[in-house]
Chains A and B, each alone.
Chain A
């Protein structure tokens, strides 16, 4: 199956698990390339389970000349697409999007969006805010495009490209995400 990036209207399916995973990584990288040129690290734990993250957290430059760091970690599975016989798709299993002031993974985050239903008693997506410790603010599923957009708009992260380019990428990739998501973003 020829692959075209989401920004060209392509989809992220594949003819087998690995191809679907590879195509999904193109999509993730394209979204993250709006704010960083760093490479992602990926690991295939099994035929159907993949992990992708920044190792170490990637540095982000702010418009005021400051620095922030992004710790992005996502676990996803790949398997047959029940709606498209012969095609394979990916499904996000867990994620962590953390905004840090230091590159140290053990540093306390400015904020963090988490969904880790396998790793603690708290199974629903939630938000941590450093200034309000110990509170798990409930959220909908948060897509990476919304998180990247928030970093640019509200945390002053400097985009790596023109406004028209990053907005177009985030809009198209969010649309692709909403189309393929097994459980959806809750719109107000």
Chain B
């Protein structure tokens, strides 16, 4: 790869509204619920035991959704 090509950043920054729409579509596809409902139910602990095998795509959904997170996942 030429260095000129390597220096090109191909990233589309999206807005909060666009991100919410993507989360909503993802939640509808993976779980059949709205993004808002997924977030509410996640906070209530409903999806704590779900994983990729039982529900493919749910982990990406949890990563993309604006859910509460610890300051740092893990430090070693």
Contact = CB atoms under 8 A, between A and B. Distances in A.
B49 A51 contact: no
Centre residue among B47, B51, B57, B63 by max chain A CB count within 10 A? B63
28 contacts: A5-B6, A7-B1, A25-B11, A29-B11, A42-B12, A43-B14, A43-B16, A51-B63, A73-B60, A75-B63, A77-B72, A94-B63, A94-B73, A95-B63, A96-B60, A105-B60, A107-B56, A107-B57, A108-B56, A114-B59, A116-B62, A118-B70, A119-B63, A120-B48, A120-B49, A161-B1, A169-B1, A183-B74
Classify the interface of chain B: helix, strand, loop or mixed: loop
B72 A93 contact: yes
A74 B11 CA distance: 14
Contact of B6 (A25, A45, A134, A169): A169
- Interface size range on B against A: 35 or more
Interface residues of A, number: 66
Interface in B12-28: 12-14, 16, 18-19, 22, 26
Given A40-B10, A96-B63, A118 B52 contact: no
